[in-house]
Chain A
Amino acid sequence: MAAVVPQTASQSVPSAPASSPSTTTPKTVTFADSSFLPGPNSSTTILPNSRAIAHLTRDVLQSVLVQPTPSSSSTSTPEPVANLKRKQPSSSSLNTRFGSFPHPSLLVPAGSQVRSASGTGFIHILRPTPELWTLSLPHRTQVVYTPDSSYILHRLRVRPGSRIIEAGAGSGSFTHASARAVYNGVHENVVTKNAATGQIDEDSKGSEEGTKNASDSVPTGGDAQIPAVLADSQGRVLSFEFHADRASILRHELRQHGLHQIVTVTNRDVCASGFSLPDPELDIGGNTYATAVFLDLPAPWLAIPHLTRENGSLSQTKAVRICCFSPCLEQALRTIAVLREQGWVEEDLVEVAHKRLEVRRMGPNGREIGAKSRSQGDDEVKVASVEDSVSKLKKQLWHRKAKQARQREKLAKKRKLDEDGNEEIQDDDSDVDMDANDDEEVEEVPETAEEENGNGRLHLFNQGRVLVRTEPELKTHTSYLVFAVLPLPWTEEDEIAAKAKYTLPPRPAPQVNPKTGKDYTSGSKAPKPSTDGKLSKSQEKKLRKAQEKAAKLASEADQASKTEGADV
Chain B
Amino acid sequence: MELIQPNDEVLIQLPSETTKLVKIVPDSIIGLGKFGSFPANSLLGRPYYLTWSILDGENFGLEPVPISELNSEKLATHTIPTTSSDPSKGSKKSKNTDSSTPSGVDSPGLALEDTAIGVQVGDDGEEDDEDVALDAGMLEQELEREQKLWEAEMKNNRDIRDDQTAQSMTWQEIEKLKKSGGTGSGKEIIARLLESHAYIDKKTAFSLAKYTKRKTNKYLKRIRVIPADVPNFTHYLITQKEPLKMLEIRDEAMGLMMSWADVKWGGRYLVIDDTGGLVVAAMAERMGLLAGEDARAPKKVSSARKRKRDEADDGKDAKEEEEGSVSQAGSSGAPEAPEVPEVAQKEANDHPYNTPIKPKTGYEQTTIPNSNTITVLHTQDQPNLSLLRPFNFDTANLINTTTHPLSTHLLSLSYLQLLSPESDVTLERPPAIPEPVLRTLKSVKRSNYHRKCRRQERLLNIVASTRRGGFDGAIIATGMELSGVINTVTPLLKGSGQIVIYSPSVEPLSEVVDWCSTLRRTEFMRIKKESETSTAASASTQPQLHTLDPDNTNPDIDPATLETLKSLPKLPAHTSDEYFPIDPTNLLAPTIHTSRVRTFQALPGRTHPLMTSRGGSEGYVLHATKVFPILEGKVEARGKFGSRKKGGSGEKSGGGGGGKKEKERVSTKLNGKKEDVMEVDNID
Assuming the contacts A4-B464, A183-B264, asked whether A354 and B594 have C-beta atoms less than 8 A apart, the reply is: yes
CB <8 Å contact, B108 and A468: no
B616 located at the interface, meaning its Cβ lies under 8 Å from any Cβ of chain A in the complex: no
Which candidate, A281-289, A408-416, A494-502, A559-567, is the interface stretch facing chain B?
Answer: A494-502
B578 adjacent to A327 (CB under 8 Å):
no
Residue of B with least CB distance to A335:
B602
Q: How far is the CA of A269 from the CA of B31 in the complex (A)?
A: 50
Is B670 on the interface with A (CB-CB < 8 A)?
A: yes
Smallest CB gap from A523: residue in B: B31
Any B CB within 8 A of the CB of A279? no
State whether the Cβ of A210 lies closer than 8 Å to any Cβ in chain B. no
Is B550 at the interface (CB under 8 A from chain A)? no
In the complex, the answer to whether B593 meets A355 with C-beta atoms within 8 Å is: yes
Q: Verify A487–B345 contact, CB threshold 8 A.
A: no
- Kindly count the residue-residue contacts between A and B in the assembled complex, taking CB atoms under 8 Å apart: 526
**B437 interfacial by beta-carbon distance below 8 Å:** no
Q: Is the CB of A153 within 8 A of B667?
A: no
Can you name 21 A-B residue pairings with CB atoms under 8 Å? A1-B563, A21-B289, A21-B408, A56-B655, A111-B494, A111-B495, A121-B639, A269-B112, A298-B114, A299-B111, A351-B597, A357-B592, A359-B510, A370-B517, A371-B663, A372-B663, A373-B666, A391-B681, A461-B517, A468-B592, A504-B41
With the chains together, A111 CA to B109 CA distance in Å?
Answer: 44
- Whether B338 lies near A38 (C-beta < 8 A) is no
Question: When the two chains form their complex, are residues A180 and B264 in contact, meaning their CB atoms are under 8 A apart?
Answer: yes
Say yes or no: A122 contacts B292, CB within 8 Å.
no
Q: Which residues of B contact A482 (CB under 8 A)?
A: 602
Find out whether the CB atom of B37 lies under 8 angstroms from the CB atom of A185: no
The reply to whether B286 and A345 form a contact with Cβ atoms under 8 Å apart is no
Cα distance, A99 to B641, chains bound together (Å): 12
Cβ A160 vs Cβ B287 within 8 A: yes
Contacts beyond the supplied A5-B465, A460-B664, A490-B50: 8 A-B pairs with Cβ under 8 Å: A3-B342, A19-B354, A185-B265, A185-B353, A327-B115, A361-B514, A508-B29, A521-B29
Interface contact A271-B112, CB-CB below 8 Å: yes
- Asked if A354 contacts B595 (CB within 8 A), the reply is yes
B359 contacts chain A at the CB level, 8 A cutoff:
no
Contact B627 A112 (CB under 8 A): yes
Q: Is the CB of B1 within 8 A of A317?
A: yes
Q: Which of A127-135, A423-431, A534-542 contacts B (4 or more CB under 8 A)?
A: A127-135
Contacts known (A18-B355, A351-B600); A345 close to B108, Cβ less than 8 A: no
Digitize B333-349: 1 where CB-to-A-CB distance is under 8 Å, 0 elsewhere: 10001100111111011
CB-CB under 8 A from B64, the residues of chain A are 490, 495
**Among the listed stretches B143-151, B367-375, B376-384, B531-539, which one makes contact with chain A, having 4 or more residues with CB under 8 Å of it?**
B367-375
The 4 residue pairs across chains A and B that have the minimum distance between CB atoms: A522-B37, A57-B654, A111-B495, A298-B115
A residues less than 8 Å from B303 (CB atoms): none
Q: How many chain-A residues does the 8 Å CB contact rule pick out?
A: 174
The reply to whether A446 and B672 contact each other, CB–CB distance below 8 Å, is yes
A454 to chain B, nearest CB (A): 11
Given contacts A299-B112, A334-B99, contact A445 B29 (CB under 8 A): no
Q: How far is the CA of A379 from the CA of B470 in the complex (A)?
A: 50
- Whether B345 contacts A38 by the Cβ 8 Å rule is no
Q: Confirm or deny: B116 has a beta carbon within 8 angstroms of a beta carbon on chain A.
A: yes
- Residue A488, interface by CB 8 Å: yes
Closest A residue to B408 by CB, please name it.
A21
- B-contacting residues, A271-328, CB 8 Å: 271-272, 296-299, 301-302, 317-319, 325-328
Name the CB-closest residue of B to A359. B513
**B154 part of interface (Cβ distance < 8 Å):** no
Q: Using an 8 Å CB-CB cutoff, how does the interface string of B215-227 with A read, 1 for contact, 0 for none?
A: 0000000001010
Q: What string of 1s and 0s marks CB contacts (under 8 Å) between A359-393 and chain B?
A: 10101110101111110000001001000000110
Once the chains are docked, how many angstroms separate the CA of A168 from the CA of B620? 31
A24 adjacent to B294 (CB under 8 Å): yes
- Whether the Cβ atoms of B291 and A17 lie closer than 8 Å is no
**A142 interface residue, CB < 8 Å from B?**
yes
In the complex, which residues 512-542 of chain A have their Cβ closer than 8 Å to any Cβ of chain B? 521-524
Pair A19/B357 contact, Cβ less than 8 Å: yes
Which of A63-71, A214-222, A336-344 lies at the binding interface?
A336-344
- A392 vs B680: C-alpha distance when bound (angstroms): 10
Contact assessment for A18 and B259 in the assembled complex, using a CB-CB cutoff below 8 Å: no
| With A97-B640, A272-B109, A504-B42 as contacts: A357 and B352 at CB distance below 8 Å | no
What chain B residues lie within 8 Å of A361 (beta carbons)? 514, 517
CB neighbours of B103 from chain A (8 A): 299, 302
With CB as the reference atom, state the residue of chain B lying closest to A302.
Answer: B104
Contact B288 A522 (CB under 8 A): no
Closest to B558 in A: A1
A544 at the interface (CB under 8 A from B): no
Q: Do the beta carbons of A365 and B674 come within 8 Å of each other? A: yes
Tell me the nearest residue of chain B to A334, going by C-beta: B99
A197 lies within 8 A of chain B by Cβ:
no
Q: Which residues of B contact A177 (CB under 8 A)?
A: 259
Contact B607 A333 (CB under 8 A): yes
Answer whether residue A432 sits at the interface, using C-beta atoms and an 8 A cutoff: no
A38 engages B266 (CB within 8 Å): yes
Binary interface encoding of chain B residues 273-299 relative to chain A, with 1 for a CB under 8 A from any of its CBs, else 0: 000000000100111111111100000
- Is B255 close to A, CB under 8 A? yes
Q: State which residues 1-51 of A face B: CB under 8 Å.
A: 1-7, 9-10, 12-13, 16-24, 29, 31, 37-40, 44
Q: What is the minimal beta-carbon distance from A376 to any residue of chain B, in angstroms?
A: 12
Pairwise interchain contact A185-B349, C-beta atoms closer than 8 A:
no
B199 to chain A, nearest CB (A): 29
The distance in angstroms between the C-alpha atoms of A349 and B286, with both chains bound, is 24
- Interface stretch (choices A75-83, A143-151, A200-208, A248-256): A143-151
Q: Determine, out of B67-75, B155-163, B165-173, B392-400, the stretch whose residues face the partner at the interface.
A: B67-75
Taking a contact as CB atoms under 8 Å apart, the answer to whether B111 and A271 are in contact is yes
Whether B288 contacts A298 by the Cβ 8 Å rule is no
A21 and B109 contact, CB distance less than 8 A: no
Contact across chains for A502 and B44 when beta carbons are under 8 A apart = yes
Complex: A12 Cα to B38 Cα, angstroms: 57
Chain A hits for B465, CB < 8 A = 5
Residues in A175-218 with C-beta less than 8 Å from chain B: 177, 180-181, 183-185
Residue in chain A with minimal CB distance to B468:
A7
> How long is the Cα–Cα vector from A398 to B683 in the complex, in angstroms?
12
Q: Which of B185-193, B237-245, B438-446, B629-637 contacts A (4 or more CB under 8 A)?
A: B629-637
> What are the residues of chain B within 8 A of A355 when measuring CB–CB?
593-595
